[in-house]
Structure 1
C-alpha cells in the first residue's frame, strides 16, 4: 500500500465518523419572540396594551391615612364623644378600554379596603373594616350599567359643606357628552339611606356644561318609594386668584338623594396660593333639618363654616387638613348643638 492510498483511506474514515456525529447532534430550538408591553396612548396617559390583545389597561389607586376628630356637642353625632378616630384605606382601580364600531368599550373595577376600628357609632364594624367593590361597570356608546357613583356624589373641593349623600347604586344610565355639554338620565336601585320599603327605584337626571370661565350643573332626582323630589344646582366661576363655587339644594322630604334638610345653600372659594398650596374657606346654611313622625321636614336649621388646606408635598403625595364649626338649632324638642370637627389626611396616589 503506498502513501497516497493510505491518506485517501484515512480521509474517508474521518468523513464517515464526522457525518455520524453530525447526524446524532442535538440542535437547540429557536427561542420564541418575546412581546414586550407596549404603551397605549389612544385613551390618555397610563394605559398599556395587555400582551397579545388590542385592549388597553390602566391601573391606578391610592393609599390614605386619615385622623378624624371632633369636640363639643356635635361630637356625639360623629365619633362617640370628644374623641378622635383613625382610618386607613387602600383603593385600586382597573380600567380596560378597546375600540369597537360603537366607540370605546370601557370596563372599570374599583376595589376598596378600609380599616377603622373605632369609627362612628352609627356605622357597623363590618362597614368600618371591610373590603368591597366600590365600583364595577361597563360603558359603551354613552350607556353605563353596573355599580358606580352617580352625579350627586360630586361635591365641592373643600370638606366643609354637606351637599350630597355619597350615593353609589346599581344603575342603568345614558349620558350624552360633547366635552363642553352633557346631559343624562339614569334608573337606579336605591339602597337603605332612607328606609321606605317597596321597589327601591330612583330616577336621576343631569344637565351641565362649560361656558367660558363658568361651569354649571343641574340635577333632578325622584325617589319612587319616598315619593320625594330632590334638586341641586352648582355653579363654578374663575374669579381672581381662585374658583368660586355656589350650590343650592331642595328636597320636599328626606330621600335617598338628599336627606340633610328641606333646602340649603353653600358657597366656597378655592384660592390656589401656590402651585402646591390651596386654601378653601366655605360656608353652608341648611333649613328644616328636623324630621317629624310622618317623615317630613319640620323646622330647625344648621350653619357650617370652615376652611380646608390642601398641600402637595411631592408628586403623588398630598395632605389635606380641614377644620369646621357646626351649629344646629332644633324645633322638635332636641337640644341645640354646636361644636368643631375636622380631619387630617395623608394620601399617596399612583
Structure 2
C-alpha cells in the first residue's frame, strides 16, 4: 500500500466520523427577528414599540423665523436712585432691535396604550431656541409633559380655562389676549354623551401669577397655600363647540410686605366655535373673559406693558387689577396649498386710584393676518403682518428720569412683519 493510499483512507475515515457526530447533534434555528409594526389605531405615524402593546409616535419641527419691527417703544423704567417707576415712551432707541432672527427646534413623543380601563397616554415635547425673542440664547424649554388615563390629565399641560389658544391660536407671532399658559395641573374630564363634557382642574397658582410690570416693588406674592381651581363645561358638535369656564386664584403677599393680605381673585369666560363647511378647515372662533385680581386668565402676560393681579397704591392700600379681554379668529384653507388667518384681540385692564389718579388703565389691541403656503408635504412658508395699539392712562410718565414726574397718559403704535419657514416631520 502506497503512502498516497494511506492518506486518502485516513481523510475518508475522519470525514465519516464527523458526519456521524453531526447527525447526533440537535437541529437549531436562527434567532427570530422582531420587526417594527405599524399601529393604525391612532392615525398615521404610530408604530408598536417592539415587545409591547404600546404605540409610539415621534415627531418634530424646525422653525426658521425672520421678523422686523417698527413704530414706538413703550415700557416701564425704574429709577434706581429714587426707586420710582416711570412709564416711558419714545421711538426705537439704539438698544432696541428692529430685526430679530430665531431658529427653533421641536421634538415630541406621543405614547398610547389601549387598556381595559380606557386609553393610557403620555406626551412629552421639548423646544429649543437659538435666540429666543426674550433675548435668551440657546434656550431649552419643556413645552408639555403629561399623562392621560381615561378622563384624567396629570402633569404639565395647557390650562383648561378656554380652548382658543390650545386648539387654534393660529397667528405666527402676533400677540392675542386669552389664557395661553402651560401649567402644572391635575384634572378630570367627564363625558356625558351627546357632546357634553365637564372638566374640574386643580392648577398651580404660581403658573397663573401676574406680579407686575417687570418691577417687583409693584406686587410681591408669597408662598402658595391654595391652588387655582378651574372648571369648564363644554358642548361639541359637528357644527362647532361652545364652552363656559371659571377660575379662582389666590393672592397672598410676601412676608416683607405690609400690610399683609390674603385675598382671592377670579375669572369667568366663554368660547364659541363655528366651523365653516364651505372652506376646508374653515372656522370662526371667539373667546372672551373677565377677571378680578387674576389677570393671567385675560392674557395680560402677552401684552406690551403686562399687568399685576394686585398693586399697592400710594396710600398703602391694595388695588385689584381687573378688566376683560376678547380674541376672535377667522381662518381656513383658500386652496389645498394656501391657508389664511385673520385675528383681532383686545384687552382692557384698570386699577382704582393706583397712582392717585382717578383711574389707572391700560388698553391694548392687536390686528394680525397671515398666509401659509405649503411648498411640498411637510414644508411651509408663512408670512404675517400685525399692528398693535397701546394706550395707558393715569401712570407716572417722564421722557427723562431727571424731569418732574406727573401722572399722565401715553400711547404707542407698533408694527411687525415677518416670514417663517417650517419643516414638520
TM-score range, shorter chain: 0.7 to 0.9
Residue 185 of structure 1 pairs with residue 200 of structure 2: yes
Equivalent in the alignment of 1:148: 157
Q: What is the TM-score when the length of structure 2 is the normalising length?
A: 0.69
Residues 74/253 of structure 1: CA separation in 2 closer, same or farther (3 Å cut) = farther
Matched, 1:345 2:345: no
Residue equivalent to 1:265: 326
Quick one: which of 145, 168, 176 aligns to 1:162? 176
Q: Could you tell me whether the CA contact under 8 Å between 2:269 and 2:289 is conserved in 1?
A: yes
Change in 2 beyond 3 A, CA 1:25/1:301: same
CA distance in 2, matches of 1:173, 1:67: 38
Alignment of 1:60-139 (within 5 A): 60-74=59-73, 81=96, 83-116=98-131, 119-120=133-134, 125=136, 128-139=137-148
Higher strand fraction (1 or 2): 2
How far apart, in 2, do the equivalents of 1:68 and 1:213 lie? 36
- How far residue 270 of structure 1 moved from its aligned partner, in angstroms, is 1.4
Q: Distance in 2 between matches of 1:103 and 1:17?
A: 66
**Distance (Å, rounded) in 1 between the aligned partners of 2:127 and 2:194:** 29
* CA distance 1:292–1:282, change in 2 (3 Å): farther
Q: 1:130 to 1:217 in 2, by over 3 A?
A: same
Work out the CA distance in 1 between the residues paired with 2:18 and 2:240.
84
Residues in 2 aligned to 1:22 and 1:75: alpha-carbon distance in whole angstroms:
93
Note if contact 2:177-2:345 (Cα within 8 Å) is conserved in structure 1.
no
Q: Deviations over 1:110-134 (max 9, x none)?
A: 12211116x336xxx3xx5322332
Map of 1:194 onto structure 2: 210
Give the match for residue 15 of structure 2.
18
Question: How many residues were matched structurally?
Answer: 336
In structure 2, distance between residues paired with 1:214 and 1:139: 24
Which range is displaced more, 85-94 or 254-263?
Answer: 254-263
> What is the alpha-carbon root mean square deviation over aligned residues?
3.5
2:189 equivalent in structure 1: 175
CA contact (8 A) 2:354 2:360 kept: no
| Contact persistence 2:286–2:326 (CA under 8 A) | yes
Is 2:265 the partner of 1:228?
Answer: yes
Give the direction of change, closer, same or farther, for the CA distance of 1:183–1:342 in structure 2 (3 Å limit). farther
Residue 87 of structure 1 deviates from its aligned partner by 1.2
SS at match of 2:297: coil
Residue of 398, 407, 410 corresponding to 1:335: 410
Alpha carbons of structure 1 residues 271 and 14: separation in structure 2 relative to 1, 3 Å:
closer
Partners of 1:161 and 1:266 within 8 A in 2 = no
The match for 1:44 is: 43
Structure 1: any 5+ residue segments left out of the alignment? Answer: 1-11
1:324 aligns with 2:386: yes
Q: Do the aligned partners of residues 23 and 308 (structure 1) sit closer, same or farther apart at CA in structure 2, a change above 3 Å counting?
A: same
Per-residue deviation, residues 275-321 of structure 1 (Å, max 9, x unmatched):
12122223223223679759xx9323223223121222211111222
User: Runs of 5+ in structure 2 lacking a partner?
Assistant: 1-8, 77-91, 212-220, 252-262, 301-321, 395-407
Give the Cα separation in 2 of the matches to 1:173 and 1:321.
Answer: 37
Evaluate the alpha carbon distance shift between residue 113 and residue 144 of structure 1 in structure 2; reply closer, same or farther with a 3 A threshold: same
SS in 2 for 1:18: helix
